Structure 1
Amino acid sequence: MATLVDVERPESTETAGKRSLTISPNWRARIGYAAVLAVLAYLVVLPMVRLQMLAFEDGAAGYRSQYGRFDIGVTLRTTVALALGSLVIAMVLGTLLAFAASRLPAKLGWLRVIPILPIVMPAVASVVGWAFLLSPRPGYLNVLLRLLPWWSGSDSGPIDVYTVPWIIVLTGFGLTSFVYLFVSSGMQNISSEHLEAAQVSGSSTVGIFFKIVLPLLRPSLIYGGGIALLLGLGQFTGPLLLGANTGVKVLTTEMYRRVSESPSDFAAAAAAGSPLVIFGLVLVLAQKALLGNQTRFVTHGGKAFAPSTGKATWATVTIVVFALFALVIPLVGLIIVSLTPYWSGSLSLSLLTLDNFRALMDTTAVVESVLTSVLTSLGAVAICIPLGYLMANLLVRGRRFRILALIADLMTALPLGIPAVIFGVGFLLTYTEPPLILYGTRTVIILVYIVLMLPFSTRMQMTAMLSLGNTYTEASATSGASPFVTNLRIMLPLMRPTILSAVALMFILLTHEFAASLLVRASTTQVMGTLLFDMWQNGSYPLVAAMALLMTAVTTIGVAAAMLVGGRNVLSKL
């Protein structure tokens, strides 16, 4: 018996030692998620905290400097007017387009992609395109309007694109595609049985829209409206390019002005952005509270939202007219100016030339800006996809880690509620000082891009996970597969269309990105949008037009590549 004890004792000690070094799978997952959230906190939260601390230094000197100005009231009113005005335009047009797309007959189904196409065109390109058309004196559309008897005696106008109302209109057009994405997605989840029942009971198309469709679209309208409002509050491109010469100021342009002046006043810039940060946080939390349990809005039925079997002429005309104003007309303006040696109200075929495009291709800075835009965008997307997958997995299946999931939910939503220009200022402040001095490098551009795209990557992949449910993961676990194998061999192949759509959307948004890039760029590290802005400031308008078309071409090539890999439905799955 003593022999048995002597033999078993070292085995028992060895086993206990092994157990003491073993970490349970739950704790390994918890530690891994906590490490990822710590990195995200450094990227997302730290720049915001540093900005606010700076604004409150020296007795809140930054707030006194910014909000003690005589014209701050006008700036605040313009910011609110731009946000609310563009919100109304985007919500009305986006919802109308989504309903029109749902009423298209099957043979015209390809028209459903058209309201998404303006996203492919950079906002900066659309803005300068309209500027070439609607500038008071040399704008081509204004020249044509002055041929009409009502304005024949004037040498300028009748439209001034540099005024607040027209900046609001163009901003609303730019946000319409985003609202359309959310509303059309919600429209597809409505069972056609509800609509058929309403039609049988004698309801008209208008009655069905207001009494059936709109109530069921409440989650999509709330979310889409919230996103449009946040984007409207954070608008930077239109006010900067169109409003600078006429004294139009909003809070985002004030932040840029404060950082660009010499010496830079980061405290005042942080104070200018504070209302936008606070409102963004409140709106994100309000969205979650208003939506609550989203299963209340699920419609059950055997048939999805069926396309119309009639001609639906009104739906076709609505989509075509929108495409004309949001895409075709500004592109025409860009093409005309890019093919002329100078921008004027007159146009002669004998002046048409390709010299502006040759000049771009012969300019080293232009080639480098294209390369930088593509590489930084692809680099950010390559990091954002797995990062978003981890966060989506935590939010969907992390019931055991409720606190971590709550932190992840708020942290991934934060960049959506805060304008990009604020992150640009925060990154400029954070990475021009130790311990990481990254200013003027592509690395800092990639980092700020990751932060800006994190909400899109997370939400799109989370939606796909929710739609797949737990059946596949449970079956895989029952067969003995590890979580890693389940994700690699089951979930990722099933989510491939959504992931490719996320890649396409993020690449589009990043190659267009202008606000944050303008603040973290250096003269030796430019992206396409910032170089275009320098050309605009220098008055090189034909080169601006050519550069805008080049930006559009680069984005189009990227989307075409995504469609080649993921199929023609990549855009429709956005």
Structure 2
Amino acid sequence: MTVLQARPVTASGPVEPSRFANPLQPRNLNRAALIVFILILGYLIITPLVKLQREAFSDGAAGYSQAFGADRIGRTIGYTIGLSLGSLVIALVLGTALAWSASRLPSGLGFLRIVPILPIVVPAVASVAGWAFLFSPRPGYLNALLRKLPWWSDLTEGPVDVYTLPWIVFITGIGLSSFVFLFVSAGFQNINSEILEAAQVSGSSQIKVFFKVTLPLLRPTLIYGGSVAFLLGLGQFTAPLLLGTNSGVTVITTEMYFLTTQTPVQTAAAAALGSPLMVIGLLLVLFQKLALGNQKRFVTHGGKAFRSSGRPSWLGASFIVLYFVISTALPIAALTFVSLSRFWSSKIDLTKLTTANFDSVMSDSVVPTAIQNSLIYSIVAVAIALPVGFIVAQVLVRGQDFPVLRTILDFVVAVPLGVPAVIFGIGFLFTYSEGPFVLYGTPWVLILVYVALMVPFATRMQLSTMLALGDQYIEASRVSGAGRLRTNILILLPLMRSSLAGAAALIFVLLTHEFSASLLVRSSTTQVMGTVLFDFWNTGTYPLAAAVALIMTGVTAVGVGLAVLLGGSESLSKL
């Protein structure tokens, strides 16, 4: 190999520099390292999706023929669109009302701002089970109370049937309202309050200001938040699976699950069926990146920051409390009563409550093993996802030297936000059930899918902290002669300590109750809490399912408490 050397400077002046850059220069080494990093993440996140599409198009696109030629495909698509649109409307109305109410809380009630976020961190599978215990047609607790009213006293079941599409839409909408709340709350903070004050000084009422000024200013936020909620509605899995299966309410995600878990297994058809959801999700991610552009633009903004220009609203505080009761307290109360009963019935006899169900699930090795697996897999995934997210956030904030690579990395990391977890679960199941890496049946397939799903959250939480810190500390350290690694270790990481701890706790919370992907990649030896709960639910042992759901909720509560303790009360809003 010929080594090119720089020519010496002569008396006549410097010679022309070599046309070839030194491959060992720091800039080139950084580029090479970044390319390798992107390739590794791309293999983890993109490869399962590519393999699914390759399978769907194999044998002359037979998967598409099977999926979209089925007799019930029209009904399935109709249910999916109905679920996503209906839940979107509910989520937009509730989320916006909650954000407005949170901006007008009376003094001393600021802690209520956390309440609208709770449905995100409460295990969805536990919450849905709680709704079933409340509104199952015959033994549902609230249905039994409603039948005591004069209007429904002649009924033997109902009047609510939680297993029908309208109620699945309602339950989904309540859950998605938390996401809309996060977007709209952030939108409120970006509104210059001088605009609202000027409108009120001109004589406009608060209601007129809200509809004529505030809502138009929130339009971009509502459009983006609504598109995210619509996508999440399209990819809903837990509520349709637990509530809609026996009543014939199937959506695309549940149909994909059945295609891959029932004999004969039809992976190609499942992959084809999920393609529209994947394409819509990827387009949404691309739209987000194009719309937001350089995220440093959002670090500060001129004018007076938003503050509520109206009087504190006790009505708004009451609305948030009512939302908490409906979305969280009632389902958990139902879980508690069922878990303390020998069997599930519409009557609650306080004298016969027992902890026998908890004794039963904890004495059986399946549940303790599942709890242990959930904790271990989640901790290992956090230990991987957090540093990966740190590196990604660093590149997004300070990778101006590599704009193309930074854009590619930004898109790759955002893909799991747009693609439903069910599709990732099927993709990982298919990818790691064959060479070169056969991981199905081992803990690593769950850990890897957890990492893939959580890298966007790990990145976003740390990115917001880095943007808030700005560049002054980093630049001062670099000017003093410290290198990048030393600056990160001695300056940046200590400044981010509380945020990192809060992010770790929140990711742990999200992983301990992950259900959709876990259900598809689990094996008999790698059960986690959510999959064991589903098995109890499927076999009709509802008190045991309720006991496991409460255990999951308890683990979540501890994680949320740690997140707030370590990262502050605002840490939940970084989800």
Listed one character per residue, the Cα deviations across residues 461-486 of structure 1 (whole Å, up to 9, x for unaligned) are 22222333322222221111111122
Q: 1:291 to 1:562 in 2, by over 3 A?
A: closer
Is the Cα contact below 8 Å between 2:374 and 2:529 reproduced in 1?
yes
Q: List aligned pairs for 1:368-517, cutoff 5 A.
A: 368-517=369-518
Return the offset for 1:308: 6.5
Structure 1 Cα separation of the partners of residues 296 and 383 of structure 2: 33
Q: 1:101 to 1:507 in 2, by over 3 A?
A: same
Return the offset for 1:434: 1.6
Please state if 1:186 is matched with 2:187: yes
Q: List aligned pairs for 1:260-271, cutoff 5 A.
A: 260-271=261-272
Q: 2:3 — aligned with what?
A: none
Q: Once structures 1 and 2 are overlaid, which stretch shifts more, 203-212 or 297-306? A: 297-306
Is the Cα contact below 8 Å between 1:219 and 1:297 reproduced in 2?
no
Q: 1:107 to 1:369 in 2, by over 3 A?
A: same
Is the Cα contact below 8 Å between 2:371 and 2:528 reproduced in 1?
yes
- What amino acid sits opposite 1:124 in the alignment? V
Q: List aligned pairs for 1:111-126, cutoff 5 A.
A: 111-126=112-127
Q: 1:44 — aligned with what?
A: 45
Q: SS at the partner of 1:197?
A: helix
Q: List aligned pairs for 1:97-112, cutoff 5 A.
A: 97-112=98-113
Q: SS at the partner of 2:46?
A: helix
Return the offset for 1:357: 1.1
Q: SS at the partner of 2:527?
A: coil
Structure 2 Cα separation of the partners of residues 86 and 423 of structure 1: 23
Return the offset for 1:274: 0.7
Structure 1 Cα separation of the partners of residues 144 and 549 of structure 2: 23
Is the Cα contact below 8 Å between 1:174 and 1:326 reproduced in 2?
yes
Is the Cα contact below 8 Å between 1:389 and 1:461 reproduced in 2?
yes
Listed one character per residue, the Cα deviations across residues 119-161 of structure 1 (whole Å, up to 9, x for unaligned) are 2311111101010110111111111111111111111111100
Q: 1:175 — aligned with what?
A: 176
Structure 1 Cα separation of the partners of residues 169 and 483 of structure 2: 53
Return the offset for 1:390: 1.1
Is the Cα contact below 8 Å between 1:389 and 1:458 reproduced in 2?
yes
Listed one character per residue, the Cα deviations across residues 489-531 of structure 1 (whole Å, up to 9, x for unaligned) are 2222333343333223322221111010000000111010000
Number of matched pairs? 558
Q: Once structures 1 and 2 are overlaid, which stretch shifts more, 187-196 or 89-98? A: 187-196
Q: 1:72 — aligned with what?
A: 73
Is the Cα contact below 8 Å between 1:115 and 1:177 reproduced in 2?
yes
- What amino acid sits opposite 1:263 in the alignment? P
TM-score (norm 2): 0.92
Q: 2:221 — aligned with what?
A: 220
Please state if 1:132 is matched with 2:122: no
* Aligned sequence identity (%): 57
Structure 2 Cα separation of the partners of residues 483 and 268 of structure 1: 49
Is the Cα contact below 8 Å between 1:193 and 1:301 reproduced in 2?
no
Structure 1 Cα separation of the partners of residues 550 and 43 of structure 2: 37
Is the Cα contact below 8 Å between 1:55 and 1:271 reproduced in 2?
yes
Q: 1:89 to 1:295 in 2, by over 3 A?
A: farther
Return the offset for 1:251: 0.8
Is the Cα contact below 8 Å between 2:563 and 2:572 reproduced in 1?
no
Q: Once structures 1 and 2 are overlaid, which stretch shifts more, 191-200 or 40-49? A: 191-200
Is the Cα contact below 8 Å between 2:503 and 2:567 reproduced in 1?
no
Return the offset for 1:230: 1.8
Q: SS at the partner of 2:148?
A: coil
Is the Cα contact below 8 Å between 1:87 and 1:172 reproduced in 2?
yes
Is the Cα contact below 8 Å between 2:296 and 2:467 reproduced in 1?
no
- What amino acid sits opposite 1:187 in the alignment? F
Q: SS at the partner of 1:539?
A: coil
Listed one character per residue, the Cα deviations across residues 82-132 of structure 1 (whole Å, up to 9, x for unaligned) are 111111111211111111101112321111111122223111111010101
Q: 2:560 — aligned with what?
A: 559
Structure 2 Cα separation of the partners of residues 558 and 297 of structure 1: 30
Q: Once structures 1 and 2 are overlaid, which stretch shifts more, 45-54 or 280-289? A: 280-289
Listed one character per residue, the Cα deviations across residues 245-288 of structure 1 (whole Å, up to 9, x for unaligned) are 01111111111101101231111110111111111112222333
Is the Cα contact below 8 Å between 1:385 and 1:457 reproduced in 2?
yes
- What amino acid sits opposite 1:120 in the alignment? V
Is the Cα contact below 8 Å between 1:102 and 1:308 reproduced in 2?
no
Q: 1:359 — aligned with what?
A: 360
Q: SS at the partner of 1:245?
A: coil
More helix by share: 1
Q: List aligned pairs for 1:195-344, cutoff 5 A.
A: 195-291=196-292, 300-301=301-302, 303-306=304-307, 310-344=311-345
Structure 1 Cα separation of the partners of residues 56 and 353 of structure 2: 52
Structure 2 Cα separation of the partners of residues 561 and 46 of structure 1: 35
Q: SS at the partner of 1:399?
A: coil
Is the Cα contact below 8 Å between 1:219 and 1:291 reproduced in 2?
no
Q: List aligned pairs for 1:9-24, cutoff 5 A.
A: 23-24=24-25
Structure 2 Cα separation of the partners of residues 29 and 297 of structure 1: 27
Q: SS at the partner of 1:400?
A: coil
Is the Cα contact below 8 Å between 1:83 and 1:229 reproduced in 2?
yes
Is the Cα contact below 8 Å between 2:260 and 2:270 reproduced in 1?
yes
Is the Cα contact below 8 Å between 2:460 and 2:574 reproduced in 1?
no
Q: Once structures 1 and 2 are overlaid, which stretch shifts more, 293-302 or 241-250? A: 293-302
Return the offset for 1:441: 1.5
- What amino acid sits opposite 2:243 in the alignment? L
Listed one character per residue, the Cα deviations across residues 10-44 of structure 1 (whole Å, up to 9, x for unaligned) are xxxxxxxxx99872221121111111111111111
Q: 1:38 to 1:22 in 2, by over 3 A?
A: closer
Return the offset for 1:291: 4.7
Q: 1:550 to 1:34 in 2, by over 3 A?
A: same
Structure 2 Cα separation of the partners of residues 93 and 177 of structure 1: 9
Q: 1:443 to 1:271 in 2, by over 3 A?
A: same
Q: 1:59 — aligned with what?
A: 60
Q: 1:145 — aligned with what?
A: 146
Is the Cα contact below 8 Å between 1:235 and 1:252 reproduced in 2?
yes
TM-score (norm 1): 0.92
Structure 2 Cα separation of the partners of residues 484 and 218 of structure 1: 42
